[in-house]
Amino acid sequence: MNQWINESGIDRVLRVIIGIVLLALGWGGVVTGGWGVFLKIIGFVPLITGLVGFCPAYALLKIRTNKA
């Protein structure tokens, strides 16, 4: 019952999947150049926020997908 978790279960799973896909695209060389570097870094954002369960952007915008 952690109140700081503002993401629902599905939200977290989707974020982890999207993060891994973005990292695969960046690190796998599918996307190269500047965009590739961008994906290599930005992929960690949804991955980490999904694993932790807390999204700072949600907190700023007062959004909660976790209704508990």
Binding residues for another protein (CB under 8 A):
1-3, 9, 12-13, 16, 19-20, 23-24, 27-29, 44, 47, 50-51, 53
Report residue 11 as tokens.
């939200």
Smallest distance from another protein to CB 30, Å: 10
Distance CA 4, CA 58 (A): 11
Side chain identity at residue 11, one-letter code = D
Q: How far apart are CA 50 and CA 47, in angstroms?
A: 5
Nearest distance, CB of residue 1 and another protein, angstroms: 4
Q: How far is the CB of 35 from another protein (least distance, A)?
A: 17
